[in-house]
Structure 1
Amino acid sequence: MSELVTDSPPTLDPIASARWAQWPHAQSPWLNEEVGRRMADRLQWIRLEPQRWVDWAPLSGGLQTHRTVQARYPKALCDVVESTAALAARAKKELQAPWWQRLARSDVVSMDQPESGAAEMVWANMALHTAADPQALLRQWHDMLAVDGFLMFSCLGPDTLRELHAAYYKAGWPPASHAFTDMHDWGDMLVQAGFAEPVMDMERITLTYDSPASLIAECRVLGRNLHRGRFANLRGRTWRAQLEQILSTLAQPSQDGRLVVTVEVIYGHALKPLPRAKMSSESTVTLQAMRSLLNQSKRG
């Protein structure tokens, strides 16, 4: 039985989370694109053909992934949501059709904030695990959806970087990342946010690197350490040398001496149901309504 999950992940620094959400990625991280491709494959099992959908933070979630989903629903309008005006402007430049195509037909990409209940799908690739208040974010996605609309999301799971966590712990260092939420807890949180029929799945992806330097460079592209207790100060060459020494312990003979890091990816799908009618212990019926019901009964 999963423990009750609080709105804010206890080890995640909300200030660092906000900074990362505004990070101007030079390009979408390749791992996010790969996860997005795998999540897009799962759309073949969805019967509903959305006429309008939301792509949440595609600059980090994957520009190529956006195009893949757009190709699956070519006539559907997409509302693109980014965290800042600067990121939204860049996403517009990357994703909007050229002007000569927009003359021939209406553009299927909108940068406007989606109206409540307007979308039939919310697509959120590799975003939820860095949210400072994931429960609020789930409620926001729920509000965007029409009844019977669905959410598709992916995020990192608790086994991510398990080798790196063990190496850091052995060296007496702070954790390598904040603690990622278990998929069963995500399922509970979806229900708490108003979703129905959550379907959760996970897989582990093994990444290998030929050197500590290549692993460090990769980590800088894929994310940041958002743990509250991470190293707080700037580090110098001595720290870098210690880090490379720690990372060298991740080498495995079964992988020809390459450094091995595990990534756990969680996939989630859930529907927005009809709102439940509020029940009370007492009901009030007007005299006029009673007369109307009696008259209908007599005519019947």
Structure 2
Amino acid sequence: MPSRPVDSTALARIVRRLAAAPAAPWLHTEVARRMGERLALILRTPDSVLQWWGGCGGGDDVLASAYPAARMWSVEPGAEAVRRREAALRRPWWSARRWTTATPVVLDEADTVTARVGLLWSNMALHWMADPRATFARWKRALADDGFLMFSTCGPDTLAELRALYREHGWPSPAADFVDMHDLGDMLVEAGFADPVMDQEQIVLTWPDAESALAELRLLGGNADPRRWPALRTPRWRRELCDALAARRDAQGRIRLRFEIVYGHAFNAPPRAKVAARTEVALDDFRAMTRRPSPSTGKDRI
């Protein structure tokens, strides 16, 4: 399986900037909306939901609407991100949402997550994690038996036009490589998830000029590729980049960049007894291993 080289220092800087933003980027909230539409395909209602990096994921309203009775958790990348998230979630006494929905419990990613939740949701965060395999293993530990995972991330066709522009000019890569959805599916199986389903779609963003495009790209992250330029670029180089982007305007005079959005969901397979000539299974473990949702009601059945 191909490796994904990233600069860990640059990656940490990008994550801090995303966590410090006053609101999730528009693209994140749009992907959260689309991912929320997929929840209707899951025939079960979790009583607890954990968002991974919920502050920059833009999924609060989607999840509150889908599961108004569920207890909410939110894991954030660092103590400062936790403080910002708690402040953003604090509701005034007169807010209707203060009385109709529970305020999520906010946790630091560095802490051990002991919650065993019915749904772990991660929107547009996985591509900022250096080791997807380790992340999947950690997510699995946070899920209850038969809980399910839903996530979205950028795929390898993201910013294909910008990558082509950089190659034409002999410049290093503008972004670290993103992992293919088939490799992510294999990683889910390796981590012990069951029935993984992966799909993808293309979202094209357009801007009236190069400066607007570059400003939004910065809001969406940064370049963590260790093969990128080793030093800061000059104003002259930036003008050259803007001119090159402007030269690629479409028929409507707008700059277009493509984002491949990969969606995945999978279930946390319950423990299974090892087959032997004689196998003893505790009654509680047997119930966990045989519990399945009813196709018609989505409720557990034994």
Same fold (TM > 0.5):
yes
CA-atom RMSD in angstroms: 2.3
1:264 correspondence with 2:260: yes
Look up the equivalent residue of 2:64 and give its one-letter code.
Q
Aligned match of 2:15 in 18, 21, 25?
Answer: 21
Alignment of 1:1-300 (within 5 A): 4-6=1-3, 9-10=4-5, 12-23=6-17, 24-62=20-58, 65-99=59-93, 107-112=102-107, 115-116=113-114, 118-253=116-251, 256-278=252-274
Q: Is the 8 A contact 1:96 1:107 kept in 2?
A: no
Greater Cα shift, 152-161 or 109-118: 109-118
Distance 1:100 1:195 in 2: 43
Q: Is the 8 A contact 2:199 2:264 kept in 1?
A: yes
Q: Deviations over 1:249-285 (max 9, x none)?
A: 32122xx1211111100000000011233467x9799
What corresponds to 2:284 in structure 1? none
1:15 to 1:276, Cα distance in 2 relative to 1, 3 A: farther
Distance 2:127 2:199 in 1: 15
Distance 1:74 1:114 in 2: 26
Q: Is the 8 A contact 2:208 2:254 kept in 1?
A: yes
The alpha-carbon deviation at position 17 of structure 1 amounts to: 1.4
Q: Is the 8 A contact 2:89 2:103 kept in 1?
A: no
The TM-score, its normalising length taken from structure 2, stands at 0.84
Greater Cα shift, 93-102 or 155-164: 93-102
Q: Percent identity?
A: 41
Distance 2:242 2:102 in 1: 49
Q: Deviations over 1:192-242 (max 9, x none)?
A: 111110011100011111111111111111110111111121222111111
The alpha-carbon deviation at position 69 of structure 1 amounts to: 0.8
Distance 2:226 2:118 in 1: 36
Distance 2:233 2:46 in 1: 49
Distance 1:84 1:157 in 2: 25
Distance 1:41 1:78 in 2: 19
Q: Is the 8 A contact 1:118 1:146 kept in 2?
A: yes
Q: Is the 8 A contact 1:208 1:259 kept in 2?
A: yes
The alpha-carbon deviation at position 116 of structure 1 amounts to: 3.7
Distance 2:267 2:123 in 1: 17
Q: Is the 8 A contact 2:53 2:76 kept in 1?
A: yes
SS at match of 2:171: coil
Distance 2:85 2:278 in 1: 52
1:5 to 1:142, Cα distance in 2 relative to 1, 3 A: farther
1:44 to 1:34, Cα distance in 2 relative to 1, 3 A: same
SS at match of 1:168: helix
SS at match of 1:92: helix
Q: Is the 8 A contact 1:79 1:114 kept in 2?
A: no
Distance 2:247 2:185 in 1: 35
1:238 to 1:105, Cα distance in 2 relative to 1, 3 A: closer
Look up the equivalent residue of 1:216 and give its one-letter code.
L
1:106 to 1:168, Cα distance in 2 relative to 1, 3 A: closer
Distance 1:110 1:46 in 2: 24
Q: Is the 8 A contact 2:91 2:98 kept in 1?
A: no
The alpha-carbon deviation at position 15 of structure 1 amounts to: 1.7
* Structure 1 alignment gaps of length 5 or more: 286-300
